[in-house]
Amino acid sequence: MTVRSVLASHGRPEVLDSVELLTSEMVTNTYLHTHGPASLRLTALADGRLRVGVWDSHPRIPAPFGRPPHDHVPLASPDADTGRGLRLVQEYADCWGGVSLGEGAFDRRAGKLLWFEMRG
């Protein structure tokens, strides 16, 4: 099942493209920068917002998630191959954040949870 199919089946076409793009950026960062398990969760909140959370096993919170909301990450250089994904989340999501869950004891679930929300 894809993010697109879940949103379409729940009648959320107005956020489909944006949520799919931002989710792809977050999952890609997880794949490129962490080793070990990861998970994705979509949550419909009571006030009509949609929250997308990505958990992975590395505890470091990347910018912009480790910065205050008003503290924008500098733009990547035009010729850079990387450095735009989480900036897109910062620019297009209604709100976003992250929490480090620590190193984990005995290699158990710890890591971090990054999330963003979009209104429908």
Q: How far is residue 15's CA from residue 7's CA, in Å, rounded to a whole number?
A: 8
Q: Could you tell me the residue range of the domain that residue 52 belongs to?
A: 3-78+91-119
Q: How far is residue 66's CA from residue 10's CA, in Å, rounded to a whole number?
A: 31
**pLDDT over threshold 70, residue 70:** no
**pLDDT over threshold 90, residue 118:** yes
83 is a domain residue: no
Q: State the pLDDT at residue 69.
A: 58
Closest CA to 86 of 61, 110, 109, 118: 61
Q: How far is residue 17's CA from residue 13's CA, in Å, rounded to a whole number?
A: 8
Strand, helix or coil for residue 65: coil
85 is a domain residue: no
Closest CA to 76 of 86, 62, 61: 86
66 is a domain residue: yes
Q: State the pLDDT at residue 22.
A: 95
Report the pLDDT averaged over residues 53-80.
75
Query: How many independent structural domains does the chain possess?
Result: 1
55 is a domain residue: yes
Prediction pTM value: 0.83
**pLDDT over threshold 70, residue 74:** no
14 is a domain residue: yes
86 is a domain residue: no
**Cis amide bond preceding 64, omega within 30:** yes
**pLDDT over threshold 60, residue 10:** yes
Report the pLDDT averaged over residues 74-79.
69
